[in-house]
Structure 1
Amino acid sequence: MTRIALIAHDDEKPEMIDFASDHADYLDDIEIVTTGTTGKRIEAETGVDVERKQSGPLGGDLQIGAEVADESLDGIIFLRDPLTAQPHEPDISALLRICDVHDTPMATTRSSAEYLLTGLALDDGVDLTA
């Protein structure tokens, strides 16, 4: 079964909620892992079930990185704020490195997230463009 991680910096959480809402039908059919606060909001605002790790400041991004190292994730969508990310928010550099080492795709913008999800859905035999 397809398994992806969803992470968002504070300013990008509304965009992640919108993304999850737009793709709720497909996301309900795959396994989703999230950092704590992002996952809490996704569940509350879209009804999509997720497995929540710790919040970013408490190491949730590291827990997700460990899943990449264990090759148990098919991709990561990390909507980040490249201009005003706060010190308490997850750092993307370690996740990028582990994704590169294990050839795991990571999307960092809404556009690239759409492509990543579409590609994974096609692998599952689902056409999100229909």
Structure 2
Amino acid sequence: MKIALIAHDELKDTMVNFCIAYEGILKEHVLFSTGTTGKRIEAATELKIDKVKSGPLGGDQQIGALIAQDELDLVIFLRDPLTSQPHEPDIQALIRLCDVYKIPVATNIATGELLVKAMERGEFSWRLYKKS
């Protein structure tokens, strides 16, 4: 599976800790991330991350393009609903694309854990409902 990992500034540490906790599962998949988040994950783990530009430089749009091209199976975007900054990636556009292309998207750690645990069990049924 191909997974995108994105986090607003205040949740980058949470994303890094998430990746450390689930490194054994995540290492079996192709991982994409926006630039800064990806660099921090790679520094803290042995995961290989295909990094796009940082969010403020268009990385969120590059992730959106991967969704539209059916290149992603799952998006984990840890968003900060209380203190997100104007320069941070636009979650609404990515959620819309995920809904259009039937890609599961987690916007918080609890949902991210549920989706990763489902992947660990081999439960990929959402792929059956994707459009061609």
Whether the TM-score (by the shorter chain) exceeds 0.5 is yes
Q: For residue 58 of structure 1, what is the aligned residue in structure 2? A: 57
Q: For residue 87 of structure 1, what is the aligned residue in structure 2? A: 86
* CA deviation map 1:40-80 (0-9, x unaligned): 00000112110000000011111111111111111100001
Q: Could you state the TM-score of these two structures normalised by the residue count of structure 2?
A: 0.90
* CA deviation map 1:79-100 (0-9, x unaligned): 0100100011101010010000
Aligned AA for 1:20? C
Q: For residue 112 of structure 2, what is the aligned residue in structure 1? A: 113
Q: Between the two proteins, what is the percent identity of the paired residues?
A: 50
Q: Which runs of 5+ in 1 are unaligned?
A: 126-130
Q: For residue 78 of structure 1, what is the aligned residue in structure 2? A: 77
Question: How do 1:1-130 and structure 2 match up within 5 A?
Answer: 2-123=1-122
User: Does the 8 A contact of 2:25 with 2:116 survive in 1?
Assistant: no
- CA separation in 1, counterparts of 2:90 and 2:114? 23
- CA separation in 2, counterparts of 1:118 and 1:52? 24
- CA separation in 2, counterparts of 1:76 and 1:122? 18
* CA deviation map 1:81-126 (0-9, x unaligned): 001000111010100100000010000110000011122222279x
- CA separation in 2, counterparts of 1:58 and 1:124? 34
Q: Which runs of 5+ in 2 are unaligned?
A: 125-132
Compute the RMSD of aligned alpha carbons.
1.3
- CA separation in 1, counterparts of 2:4 and 2:123? 17
SS in 1 for 2:121: helix
- CA separation in 2, counterparts of 1:61 and 1:43? 19
- CA separation in 1, counterparts of 2:61 and 2:122? 27
